[in-house]
């Protein structure tokens, strides 16, 4: 899912409630650190926001988030939240009974023209290290 801001909140909640996915991996969240979060009933929402607004940016952009349905959290606990790199977040879930772990990762690579543009090789190397750790 691309784009999550207060202005899109109602549309996104409607879509999520209609499909009831177990997980939502969201790019382009437009929150600043410490900003009020949107709320989706029955979901826990974890974000990695831009720590500061870049001097060239007109608004907060480029954050990422992971939403997890409460039914998943009935079986798994959040074992670790990893801010892999700027614009990348990972969550490791651990089964309550078995020694089974499930990893989720989301990333947003801004275009080169963006104030946050970065090298794609570094971006994918960091994501790959998380996946294979």
Strand-by-strand arrangement of the 101-107 sheet: 76-85, 88-95, 101-107
* pLDDT in the model for residue 127: 87
* pLDDT in the model for residue 19: 95
The pTM for the full model equals: 0.81
Domain ranges, residue 108: 2-131
Q: Which residues contact 98 (CB under 8 A, 6 or more apart)?
A: none
Number of domains in the chain: 1
* pLDDT in the model for residue 80: 93
Measured in degrees and rounded to the nearest 5, phi and psi for residue 65 equal: -155, 155
Tens of pLDDT along the chain (133 residues)?
Answer: 556 666 667 788 888 889 999 999 988 777 665 555 667 899 998 888 766 555 666 556 667 889 999 999 999 999 999 988 877 889 999 999 999 999 999 988 877 766 556 678 888 898 899 888 7
* pLDDT in the model for residue 36: 53
* pLDDT in the model for residue 4: 65
Do 105 and 94 contact (CB within 8 A), yes or no? no
* pLDDT in the model for residue 50: 66
Q: Which residues contact 112 (CB under 8 A, 6 or more apart)?
A: none
**CATH code of 23's domain:** 3.60.10.10
* pLDDT in the model for residue 90: 92
């Amino acid at each position: 899912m691309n784009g999550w801001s207060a202005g899109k909140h109602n549309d996104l909640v409607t879509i999520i409630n209609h499909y009831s996915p177990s997980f939502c991996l969201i790019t382009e969240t437009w929150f600043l650190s410490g900003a009020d979060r949107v709320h989706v009933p029955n979901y826990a929402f974890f974000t990695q926001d831009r720590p500061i607004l870049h001097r060239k940016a007109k608004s907060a952009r480029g954050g990422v988030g992971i939403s997890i349905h409460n039914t998943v959290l009935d079986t798994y606990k959040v074992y670790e939240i990893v801010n892999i790199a700027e614009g990348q977040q990972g969550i490791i879930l651990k089964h309550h009974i078995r020694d089974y772990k499930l990893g989720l990762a989301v990333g947003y690579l801004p275009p080169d023209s963006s104030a946050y543009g970065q090298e794609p090789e570094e971006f994918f190397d960091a994501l790959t290290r998380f996946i294979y750790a």
